[in-house]
Amino acid sequence: MSRIRTAATVTASTVAVLALALGAASPALAAEPTVDGDGIVTIGAAHWQVDEYGLAYGWDAADVYDLSGYIYYPGEFYYDDYLYCGTGIADADVVVESNGDLTITCPEGPFGTTGLTGSLTFRFYAAAESGYLMRQLVTLTNETDAPITLVGDLEAYYYDGYTGTQGGPGFITSSGGDTVGADDTGYIAHNPTGGSVVETEVWAPNGSAPGAGIVGDSHPAISYTADSTFAAGETKYFVNFTNMVIPATQDEEGAAAAFQIAAEQTEEYNDFSGRLVEGLPEGLPVVAWGTTPVAPAPIVPTLANTGSDVSALGVAGLAALLAAAGGLVLIRRTRAAR
CB 209 within 8 A of CB 288: yes
Return d(Cα 268, Cα 104) in angstroms, integer.
23
Return d(Cα 33, Cα 338) in angstroms, integer.
32
Angle at 68 (CA atoms; ends 157, 248), nearest 5 degrees: 105
The single-letter DSSP state of residue 100 is S
Whether the per-residue pLDDT at 332 is higher than 60: the answer is: no
Q: Where are the alpha helices (DSSP H) in the chain?
A: 12-18, 252-265, 310-337
Return d(Cα 306, Cα 196) in angstroms, integer.
69
CB 140 within 8 A of CB 238: yes
* DSSP-assigned beta bridge partners for residue 229: 149
Whether the per-residue pLDDT at 118 is higher than 70: the answer is: yes
Angle at 100 (CA atoms; ends 99, 105), nearest 5 degrees: 105
Return d(Cα 218, Cα 137) in angstroms, integer.
23
* DSSP-assigned beta bridge partners for residue 48: 41, 58
301: left (phi over 0), alpha (psi -120 to 50) or beta: beta
Q: How confident is the model at residue 25 (pLDDT cuts 50, 70, 90)?
A: very low
Look at residue 304 in the predicted model and tell me its pLDDT. 59
Q: How many CA atoms lie within 13 A of 79 on its CB side?
A: 22
- The listed range with the strongest mean pLDDT (202-211, 270-279, 303-312) is 270-279
Q: CB count, 10 Å around CB of 320?
A: 10
At a CB cut-off of 8 Å and minimum separation 6, what does 86 contact?
52, 92, 106, 107, 109
pLDDT in tens, 207-230: 888 888 999 988 888 999 989 999
| Mean per-residue pLDDT of the chain | 83
| 332: helix, strand or coil | helix
Return d(Cα 207, Cα 198) in angstroms, integer.
22
| 44: helix, strand or coil | coil
Return d(Cα 127, Cα 7) in angstroms, integer.
18
Whether the per-residue pLDDT at 243 is higher than 50: the answer is: yes
Look at residue 316 in the predicted model and tell me its pLDDT. 45
Q: How confident is the model at residue 299 (pLDDT cuts 50, 70, 90)?
A: confident
Helix (H) or strand (E) holding 315: helix 310-337
Q: Mean of the pLDDT values across residues 70-87? A: 95
**Percentage of the residues of the chain whose pLDDT score is greater than 70:** 80
Comparing 105-119, 222-236, 291-305, the range with the smallest average pLDDT is: 291-305
* DSSP-assigned beta bridge partners for residue 286: 237, 290
pLDDT in tens, 176-191: 999 999 999 999 999 9
Look at residue 160 in the predicted model and tell me its pLDDT. 86
CB 126 within 8 A of CB 20: no
Q: Compare 3 and 285 and report the one with higher pLDDT.
A: 285
